Structure 1
Amino acid sequence: MSTTVRIVKTPDVLHGKPRIEGTRVGVFQIGTLVREREWSVEDAAAQFDIDVSQIQAAVEYYDEHPELMETLQAQEEARQQAMQAESRCADLK
């Protein structure tokens, strides 16, 4: 029996970002590791303790939604910059 891996977005999990159904593993996170950091699908599956088919579904979604992934990348960069600025402010106190 073949099961279809679904990518879902729900507001109460990962702030509504796309994820592999039944997990808290985000598509952006998987896509970045596989496409940008050149992890193998098998290594990512082992790291997150999920099936290779789930990783493949996440990578396919990542590839099929480049504008959304660019938006998520920009949000992540803004979050990191805000954290760095907050850290610098704390150091000045």
Structure 2
Amino acid sequence: MSSTVQIVKTPDVLHGKPRLEGTRIGVLQVGELVREVGWSIDETADQMDLDIAQVEAATEYYDDHPELMETLRAQKEARKQSIADQSRAE
């Protein structure tokens, strides 16, 4: 990971999930776009208004912490399901 780009976790931003310092952009979001959706580093940087070093740092962190990313992905899916269930409530 680049020494100039920091991945941080702070309780008051993104509920403490890892993110790029100085942004509200989570590592999971960047990692999924690059690794799961197939966007290139350049495309991700352009679309998310990040620089290449930030995308590389987030992707490296994503790759280095697969268990954490799977936990975050499961939490995201559970939230989506909860919202869907509430929207169908009578």
Instruction: Give the aligned partner of residue 28 of structure 2.
Output: 28
- Residue in structure 2 matched with residue 62 of structure 1 by the alignment: 62
In the TM superposition, residue 3 of structure 1 has moved relative to its aligned partner by 5.8
What amino acid maps onto 2:78 in structure 1? A
SS in 1 for 2:4: coil
Unaligned runs of 5+ in 1: none
Over the residues paired in the alignment, what is the CA RMSD in angstroms? Answer: 1.2
What does 1:41-80 correspond to in 2, within 5 Å? Answer: 41-80=41-80
**Amino acid aligned to 1:48:** M
The worse-fitting range, judged by mean Cα deviation, of 3-12 and 75-84 is: 3-12
Mapped partners of 1:18, 1:53: distance in 2: 16
Relative distance call for 1:23 and 1:33 in structure 2 (3 A) is same
TM-score, structure 2 normalization: 0.95
Q: Indicate the percent of aligned positions where both proteins have the same amino acid.
A: 64
Distance in 2 between residues matched to 1:39 and 1:30, nearest whole Å:
9
Distance 1:3 1:31 in 2: 19
- Which structure 1 residue ranges, 4+ long, deviate > 2 Å from structure 2? none
Count of residue pairs the alignment pairs up: 89
The structure showing larger relative contact order (alpha-carbon pairs under 8 Å, at least 6 residues apart) is: 2
Q: Distance in 1 between matches of 2:16 and 2:22?
A: 14
- Deviation per CA, 1:65-93, whole angstroms, max 9, x where unpaired? 0010000010011001001100110xx3x
Matched, 1:81 2:44: no
Which consecutive residues of structure 2, in runs of 5 or more, have no partner in the other structure?
Answer: none
